[in-house]
């Protein structure tokens, strides 16, 4: 868990440094580097027999993987671009709105059930984010719009993963996910890189291409996915949610200490309010998962007695 927290924080802090302080303000190029690096390593791991990849048909790839890859490319592009305008601490505060946006998108796609309690919970989160935004000293509208766009595309992506993949019984570990999605994500990012950023890079006299630093950023991103792979099945959903909260507070602290990002009391109050709302939301989701699991275990006990042979067939099904 601590490795995941460290790597998650490292990816964000390194990306912020690369884009805002190293003379390489090109988020699409950075994200292309990540996706190219992850594609190559995932290919090596799968073809080398270290990790088994899920077989995907051409129809599933076109109808499921491509739209998810497109949304993932948008999430990474917009999220990295926000670092050009906003501090890490403020971005983490804005990210607290993720459960709220996922809930809204889920209700729209009928994957989440609308309840008054959940809606009130989301209002608390939204109010906290609004207060934190009001207290931001260096509020840049474009940066906020980029981060909101990243959150929106990520929320739709998560919902489509549930609709398109999980309902088809397709489950992929992080390496398998990178193996299938990273290449198409790279292609989607390469097009805007060629037409938008590459001409600017060619004519930028201050451009500083620090290859070791770019590779470090890409390696951190891949290692983060590997840490998730290693943690699957070894930690509970509640533990991962708590780890995410620790990571968010750690990033705010690191942003203040390392990059001198100002954080006001108004922001801390607003983020604290949103934080409580998110924690309650995570707690409610975990309790709901436990209740569903308990109900699934009790369900067979209520079935009428059947022949042992029929019972074995039912279990195998």
- Residue range 235-264, pLDDT digits in tens: 555 566 567 777 888 888 888 888 888 889
Evaluate if residue 172 carries a pLDDT over 80.
no
Residue 154: both structure tokens together: 């990520």
Enter the DSSP assignment of 299: G
Alpha-carbon span 248 to 13, nearest angstrom = 12
What does the pLDDT average to over 166-177?
75
Query: What local confidence, expressed as pLDDT, does residue 309 receive?
Result: 47
Is residue 112 a contact partner of residue 156, using CB atoms and an 8 Å limit?
no
pTM to 2 decimals? 0.84
For the record, the structure tokens of 162 come out as 């549930």
- In this predicted structure, the answer to whether residue 185 has a pLDDT above a threshold of 70 is yes
The secondary structure of residue 84, as a DSSP letter, is T
| pLDDT for residue 279 is more than 90 | no
Instruction: Please choose, from the candidates 22, 92, 54, 46, the residue with its C-alpha nearest in 3D space to the C-alpha of residue 256.
Output: 92
Question: What pLDDT was estimated at residue 260?
Answer: 86
Q: Which residues, other chains included, contact 144 with Cβ-Cβ below 8 Å and sequence gap of 6+?
A: 82, 86, 94, 133
Instruction: Give ∠ CA 131-158-225 in degrees, rounded to 5.
Output: 95
Mean pLDDT of 38-58: 86
The band of 75, judged by pLDDT with boundaries at 50, 70 and 90, is very high
Cα separation of 65 and 76, whole Å?
16
Residue 315 predicted with pLDDT over 70: no
pLDDT for position 288: 78
Instruction: Pick 27 or 260 by higher pLDDT.
Output: 27
The percent of residues above 90 in pLDDT, for the chain, comes to: 38
Task: Give mean pLDDT, residues 106-127.
Answer: 87
Helix axes 88-95, 237-259, angle to 10 degrees: 150
DSSP, residue by residue, 100-164: HHHHHHHHHTTSS---HHHHHHHHHHHHHHHHHHHT-SS--HHHHHHHHHHHHHHHHHHHHIIII
State the burial class of residue 50 (Cβ atoms within 10 Å of its Cβ: 0-12, 13-18, 19+): exposed
What would the mean pLDDT of 167-171 be, rounded to a whole number?
73
Q: Determine the Cα–Cα distance for residues 128 and 229; give it in Å rounded to an integer.
A: 33
Phi, psi of 128 (to 5 degrees): -60, -45
Q: What is the mean pLDDT of the chain?
A: 84
Phi-psi region of 311 (alpha: psi -120 to 50; beta: other; left: phi over 0): alpha
Q: Please count the CA atoms within 13 angstroms of the CA of 244 that sit on its side-chain side.
A: 18
pLDDT of residue 306: 46
pLDDT exceeds cutoff 90 at 178: no
pLDDT at 230: 62
Owner of token pair 């990243």: 150
Question: For position 216, what pLDDT does the model report?
Answer: 93
Q: Is-contact 181 51, C-beta < 8 A?
A: no
Identify the pLDDT of residue 123. Answer: 92
Q: Is 260 left (phi over 0), alpha (psi -120 to 50) or beta?
A: left
Phi, psi of 86 (to 5 degrees): -120, 155
């Amino acid at each position: 868990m601590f490795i995941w927290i460290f790597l998650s924080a490292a990816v964000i802090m390194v990306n912020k440094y690369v884009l805002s302080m190293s003379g390489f303000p090109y988020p699409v190029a950075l994200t292309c580097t990540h996706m190219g690096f992850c594609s190559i390593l995932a290919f090596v791991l799968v073809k080398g027999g270290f990790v088994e990849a899920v077989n995907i048909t051409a129809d599933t790839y076109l109808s499921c993987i491509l739209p998810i890859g497109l949304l993932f490319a948008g999430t990474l592009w917009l999220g990295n671009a926000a670092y050009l305008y906003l501090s890490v601490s403020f971005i983490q505060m804005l990210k607290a709105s993720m459960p709220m946006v996922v809930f809204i998108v889920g209700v729209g796609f009928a994957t989440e059930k609308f309840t008054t309690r959940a809606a009130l919970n989301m209002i608390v989160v939204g109010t906290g984010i609004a207060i934190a935004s009001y207290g931001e000293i260096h509020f840049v509208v474009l940066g906020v719009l980029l981060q909101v766009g990243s959150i929106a595309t990520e929320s739709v992506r998560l919902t489509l993963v549930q609709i398109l993949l999980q309902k088809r019984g397709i489950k992929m570990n992080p390496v398998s996910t990178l193996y299938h999605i990273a290449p198409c994500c790279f292609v989607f990012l390469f097009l805007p890189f060629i037409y938008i950023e590459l001409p600017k890079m060619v004519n930028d006299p201050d451009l500083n291409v620090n290859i070791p630093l770019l590779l470090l950023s890409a390696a951190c991103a891949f290692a983060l996915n590997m840490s998730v792979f290693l943690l699957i099945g070894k930690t509970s959903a509640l533990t991962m949610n708590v780890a995410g909260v620790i990571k968010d507070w750690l990033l705010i602290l690191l942003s203040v200490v390392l990059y001198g990002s100002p954080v006001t009391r108004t922001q801390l109050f607003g983020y604290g309010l949103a934080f409580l709302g998110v924690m309650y939301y995570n707690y409610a989701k975990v309790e709901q998962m436990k209740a569903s699991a308990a109900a699934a275990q009790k369900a067979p006990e209520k079935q009428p007695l059947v022949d042992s042979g029929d019972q074995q067939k039912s279990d195998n099904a």
